[in-house]
Structure 1
């Protein structure tokens, strides 16, 4: 059951409004594994399998962009063996999933400081981006080594430098300009998520897309990420379909 929702589950209307951009905080892998008396890394491996299923289902539903919080700038604080495992996951993921990405014309993109990833991880991620760059299907956007406050700080610096160089005046600085300076600027009309989902029962945003989610609908579920299924995604979207998005108006 989603937190803040009634116990009566909504039914997904596949002909109804499907959020163009869904962003997911994939949380609970370690706790899922611990509950089964398994190492935390086992949960991350199962989480990768969940990611595959959700990506294909999202595309089938007509989602245009699926942004996944894969590794935050704060995740480097985790134990070294867990970080090493997480850095190898993209290698395993793209090695196995690339044929399906190509078959489904899914386009891989990234946000975050990719250059700071280990060389082998960076290479496989960049290869996935390059091999799918001409695809016209859903955009599968990975947030690797990403933190929203850092992103906003960099955007502010970039704008300030342009003003200093007299490329811009202070009056030129608008919300639209700032949005274009964010990592998600390349997504254009899809840069702001319509729906943000967080698994595992935690009710916080954890430094994820803070600028972009100003008017996003938020959906929290108690399910751990490895248990999150296509049916779970349907329920999140069905709940979204019953929201009244007023964007500050009436």
Structure 2
């Protein structure tokens, strides 16, 4: 009994810092965010309970929120498939190269370099002197330009994930497929993609979440312009909190974004049962 009590106290001692950190830096902020979303909460001034008025304002009166929501969905719809297809195609390509490790390093470099620095460089490229039209100043091409820069910045991470999964494909299964006559596109669709489907699922989840939270690229490249053609949900949240100085409205927008991410992720987890194949 003494030994068991000593072990319990030791376990409690080791767990206490983590529990305190979880409570102080996660549970308490989340709880405060729930409370603040129902208040008019100026950065300086008196807080006033307003119920669901913040959410009503976002979906009814805010001139930018619905545009930011639309832009975020358009960005996600373009960025995610382009990122995944480019990363997957290059991963299969470099898997047959003798310089595989070198290609991995080269393609991964943009993913680990500072995003702000990359965005500034791309902004200079898009705004070359004498260039007509200015892609970032045209509402028809500004968001596409942000997507292009984001794909270049982010596909290297998924390439590493896919490359590792391709290298781990069971040789026996590939050889059996070749004996059965599975070659070319049939081999890719029926054998190789199912074998790496867990990696595809993981990459899809993470890429969708990062796309829905996009902020730095449009903020640096266009500041949300021209007009609000490239303004995203996180940018709208930032402007509500740090420019309009209404923390309650900003937190309400953050909860909307959280609900969207939660819903999309839940749908992906439910759908993965049909196409993701795990080793038994």
Q: Would you call these one fold, judging by a TM-score over 0.5?
A: no
Structure with higher helix content: 2
Structure with higher strand content: 1
Choose 1 or 2 for highest CA Rg.
2
* TM-score bucket (shorter structure): under 0.3
